């Protein structure tokens, strides 16, 4: 299996019957709060994300602080209030747009899910399709 390196993006090498190299499929490993990636101090503590099927570290993500949690909760409350003001037709249109984006990125999402959970690609691919159908 080829070596992988981490440069702020996820690097994965794994697939049944051969190597599946996934590089730069994810944005930088930062917190995503209020619709944007946060610039975080990369020298702070990080938590390894391990592919359970290979026991390889596939990413290192920043640990959140209490202040990060407070900002995320405040953003979620604001988003909930905005969502509540939408009429059902607009909610439906937005959910369909989200499903379309998931479908457009289905293969990479399935590969990343496989690396993150250790599931076979076929199972992750079915999971992504089920998400779109839901």
Q: What is the pLDDT of residues 76-109, one digit of tens each?
A: 999 999 999 999 999 999 999 999 999 999 998 9
Q: What is the pTM of this model?
A: 0.71
- How many C-beta atoms surround the C-beta of residue 1 within 10 A? 11
Residue 84 resides in a domain: yes
104 in Cβ contact with 132 (< 8 Å) = no
Q: How many structural domains compose the chain?
A: 1
The enclosing domain of 88 has a CATH number of 3.40.605.10
4 in Cβ contact with 90 (< 8 Å) = no
Q: What is the DSSP string of the chain?
A: ------SSS-EEE--TTS--EEES-S--S--EETTEEPP--TTS-EEEEEETTTTEEEEEEEPP-HHHHHHHHHHHHHHHHHHHHS-HHHHHHHHHHHHHHHHHTHHHHHHHHHHHH---HHHHHHHHHHHHH-
Residue 71 resides in a domain: yes
Predicted pLDDT at 11: 41
Residue 4 resides in a domain: no
Place of tokens 């590089």: 23
The stretches in the chain having pLDDT less than 70 are 1-28, 40-43
Residue 113 resides in a domain: yes
Residue 73 resides in a domain: yes
Domain assignment of residue 129, given as a range: 11-133
Residue 18 resides in a domain: yes
Residue 109 CA: distances (Å) to CA of 3, 27, 98, 101, 103? 22, 13, 14, 11, 9
Predicted pLDDT at 49: 87
Residue 121 resides in a domain: yes
Residue 88 resides in a domain: yes
């Amino acid at each position: 299996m080829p070596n992988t390196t981490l440069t702020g993006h996820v690097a994965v090498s794994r697939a049944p019957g051969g190597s599946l190299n996934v590089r730069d499929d994810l944005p930088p490993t930062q917190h995503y709060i209020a619709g944007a990636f946060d610039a975080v101090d990369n020298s702070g503590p990080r938590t390894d994300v391990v592919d359970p099927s290979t026991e390889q570290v596939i990413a290192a993500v920043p640990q959140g602080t209490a202040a990060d949690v407070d900002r995320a909760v405040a953003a979620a409350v604001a988003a909930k209030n905005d969502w509540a003001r939408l009429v059902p037709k607009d909610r439906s249109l937005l959910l369909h747009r989200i499903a379309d984006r998931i479908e457009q990125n289905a293969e990479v999402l399935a590969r990343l899910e496989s690396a993150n959970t250790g599931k076979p690609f076929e199972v992750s691919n079915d999971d992504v399709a089920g998400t779109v159908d839901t």
